[in-house]
Structure 1
Amino acid sequence: MNRIIIIGNGFDLAHNLKTGYKDFINDYWATIEEGIYDKYWRLLDQQYGGGKHPLNDYEDQFIKIEKEYDKTGVNKVYSSYKEDSPLWKLHTLIDEHNNDPGSNVTVHLKFKNHFFERISHQCSLVNWVDIENEYYSVLKELLQEENPQKQNESIRTLNKEFDDVKR
């Protein structure tokens, strides 16, 4: 006899599977942090102190992390996030490197996808994000634009950025 087993909503939570939007976003930021500050250099810096090793450059469809040599000033990144969130940890790491007096490098974090920036900030502030609701909120804001050409271009950009996040 064949049987069909139906798994309902909550199966993932009941089995402690990390399948929420925040889990994917936090994993992304944790992976970025590990990629720009190698575990090897982190261990050396923790064990032997001294100057921090420079962070690695990084770029994907969402962000770009780059170094500026001949440091002219400190670039304090916006960091009013929930403490211990992966994005807060990344900003703290960048701030530490930018404020190191022995460093001649300033590290910049730039978002290439503004929708991803919005959901990352939301997730880091309250440790939760509803991506569909954020999309709807942005769309309502864009519909207030008086210029139809600018409105259409903004909506096209939003849809492209939303598709990138979905992928």
Structure 2
Amino acid sequence: MNRLILIGNGFDLAHGLKTSYKDFMEFYLIKVFMMLVQNNYQYEDPLITIASKNNSRPIVAEYRKFESGIAYLNYLRKECSKLFDIKISLFLHSSHHNVLERNWVDIEMTYFHCLCTHIRDGKVDRDNVSILNRQLAYLKNELEAYLTAVETYQPIDQPDPDLLDIFLQPLFRKDFSAAEKTGDEIQFLNSFGLSQEQGTAGYNLIANFNYTQTLEPYLEAIQKNGLKNYRINYIHGKLKSRENPLIFGFGDEYNKVYSEFEEHNENSIFEHVKSFKYFQTNNNKNLLRFVSSDLFQVVILGHSCGLSDRTMLKAIFESENCRSIKIFHHKHSEDSNDYHEKTI
């Protein structure tokens, strides 16, 4: 019996790293406003263009008085239309709106929804699809620069003891109640080397959906505890790595709209589909080989299990070899956690 540990952004957040898409959007917008001041109150990138009217300069410096760059952009758009020409892309507008209304944003799913708006009535708006693709490519580069800075200025040198215990704990029989009902009870019990109540996983694969190296101290600590059967798969790439570049896009090929994409003879629609990016390395192939090789338990640690990774998660969760899914949830307060949300 093997174990597959899925690591998501919540793992980095638990270490105090500001790696959420909301944090990144805040960083990006503050950078925009700072460059706006430095460049004589003119700014342009693939996502937004801002130009002052009538030398309306003093008001720009006021962004420091707002609680966030996101709030300040909202102020500029609503209150300063006579002072500034602001052209904001649908992509950035949708991301900004999600942060304001829901206090979070999934940039990859936002990209997918924007892509859908450019495919209507059986036709593909090639020009706007190309523009949108350039916008996501630009944002991916900005994200890599941001995460590199976060990792540089706040390196994680020591593992959190409580989180380390999760990696070190054995397989527990109680987590496999569903497996015993499938007729595989004998095979299940034989997979345990210690007792009928708990046992050691034959092989542990950590599928890291993050780009950072927060896991490296954990792997070192695990090995110091005498466990050698652990390996990390940076499934979506690593920061500053040419051999394992960042994969950033949408991965929900089971969406009914995606099936309509395949009816079009237009490659640009698939520019940022994760499944095609997986061919750049052996990461996905190695993960699928692990899933098909033997029975396994899935442990979810900090992963939201959202639709932006639906294709890969479906292959894992619906595999005949998947016999247990163990969720470690985030506790918001004494009376609130995200366990129910994760199960959904």
Tell whether the structures are fold-level matches, with TM greater than 0.5.
yes
Q: What is aligned with 1:60? A: 45
Q: Structure 2 CA distance, aligned partners of 1:59 and 1:153?
A: 19
Q: Structure 2 CA distance, aligned partners of 1:146 and 1:121?
A: 27
Q: In structure 1, the residue corresponding to 2:105 is in which secondary structure?
A: coil
Work out the number of aligned pairs and report it.
Answer: 126
* 1:118-161 deviation line (CA, Å, top 9, x unaligned): 21232233221111211222233333x1263x533333332222
Q: Which amino acid aligns with 1:61?
A: P
Q: Structure 2 CA distance, aligned partners of 1:60 and 1:153?
A: 17
Gap change, CA 1:146 and 1:7, over 3 Å in 2: closer
Per-residue deviation, 1:13: 1.3
What does 1:98-113 align with in structure 2 at a 5 Å threshold? 98=80, 106-111=83-88, 113=89
Q: What is aligned with 1:117? A: 93
Higher share in strand:
2
Gap change, CA 1:164 and 1:114, over 3 Å in 2: farther
What does 1:14-163 align with in structure 2 at a 5 Å threshold? 14-36=14-36, 56-69=41-54, 84-92=67-75, 98=80, 106-111=83-88, 113-143=89-119, 145-146=120-121, 148=123, 150-163=124-137
Gap change, CA 1:85 and 1:154, over 3 Å in 2: same
Q: Structure 2 CA distance, aligned partners of 1:20 and 1:37?
A: 26
Percentage of pairs with the same residue = 30
Q: Answer whether contact 2:13 2:20 (CA < 8 A) is retained.
A: no
Q: What is aligned with 1:44? A: none
Residue ranges of structure 1 left out of the alignment (5+ in a row): 1-5, 39-54, 72-82, 100-104
Relative to the length of structure 1, the TM-score reads 0.57
* 1:22-61 deviation line (CA, Å, top 9, x unaligned): 11111111233344458xxxxxxxxxxxxxxxx8222233
Per-residue deviation, 1:15: 1.0
Residue ranges of structure 2 left out of the alignment (5+ in a row): 57-65, 142-344
Q: Structure 2 CA distance, aligned partners of 1:159 and 1:120?
A: 18
Per-residue deviation, 1:21: 0.9
Q: What is aligned with 2:154? A: none
Q: What is aligned with 1:78? A: none
Q: Answer whether contact 1:85 1:124 (CA < 8 A) is retained.
A: no
Q: Which amino acid aligns with 2:13?
A: L
Q: Structure 1 CA distance, aligned partners of 2:11 and 2:32?
A: 29
Q: Structure 1 CA distance, aligned partners of 2:20 and 2:31?
A: 17
Q: Structure 2 CA distance, aligned partners of 1:158 and 1:125?
A: 23
